[in-house]
Amino acid sequence: MIKYKNMPKLFWVTGRYGSGTVEIADYIKKTLVREQTIVQQNIIAKEMWGSNVPNCKFVLIHEHELRSIYQLHDYSEKGIVDFVAFVQILCGFMIKNNIIPIVSILSPFYEQRKTFIDENDGVEICVYNQNTTFNSENYMVNYEDSSESENSIKLDITEKSVDECFDDLWNLFMNK
C-alpha cells in the first residue's frame, strides 16, 4: 500500500520520445485507481490517504489521443508551444473539477512545463532511458531537460521493468 504525504493535483510525465513516458503514465493511473478502490471499499483506513484523493478521478492525457482533437500537424517550436498550452488549459479545467490529470505529451520547453506544474501543485516526472533507440531529433531538437526542483523527480528506467520503475518513482516521491 502506498502512503501519500501530499497527493499532487497533476502528474506531468515528460521525457524524450521513446523514453517510456507513456508506460509510466499508464502505470501511475492503474496504481492510483487500484488503491483508490481499496480505500473506497474500506479495506484500509481513509486516514492513510490524503483527504483529497478518495473522491478524485484520474485521467490519462496522451499526446497521440489528443492529436486529432487539436489537429496537431505543426511540429515547429510555435506549434508545440501552442499544443502544450492547449493541454495545460484542459488540465486546468480538470483540476478545478477535482480530476487529477496524468499527462504524457511532447512538452520540450522547461519553463512552460515548470510554471504550469508549480502553479497547479503538480509533480513533473522526468523519464530517462539510456537505451532509447528512437531518434528524437526528427521531432524536436530543442528538448529541455528538467533541473532538480521541489516539484520534479528524475526517473531513470534503463533496463528496469515498469514495476521496478514505479517502485523507484514512489520512493523518490515519498522522500520529496
Mean pLDDT across 32-56 = 59
Q: What is the pLDDT of residue 147?
A: 66
Helices (H), the chain: 21-40, 63-70, 77-96, 110-119, 162-174
- pTM for the model stands at 0.80
- pLDDT band at 87; cut points 50, 70, 90: very high
C-alpha cell at 167: 517502485
Domain architecture of the chain: domains with CATH: 10-174 (3.40.50.300)
- pLDDT band at 80; cut points 50, 70, 90: confident
Mean pLDDT across 64-84 = 81
Q: What is the pLDDT of residue 173?
A: 65
How many CB atoms neighbour CB 22 within 10 A? 18
For the ranges 7-16, 48-57, 122-131, 161-170, the lowest mean pLDDT is seen at 48-57
Q: Residues 94-117: pLDDT tens digits?
A: 999 989 999 998 788 888 999 999
Q: What is the pLDDT of residue 7?
A: 75
pLDDT at 86 over 80: yes
Q: Is 168 exposed, middle or buried (0-12, 13-18, 19+ CB in 10 A)?
A: middle
Residue (of 151, 147, 144) closest to 172 by Cα position:
151
Q: What is the pLDDT of residue 104?
A: 92
pLDDT at 61 over 60: yes
Long-range contacts at 38-43 (CB < 8 A, ≥ 24 apart):
38/1
Mean pLDDT across 152-166 = 80
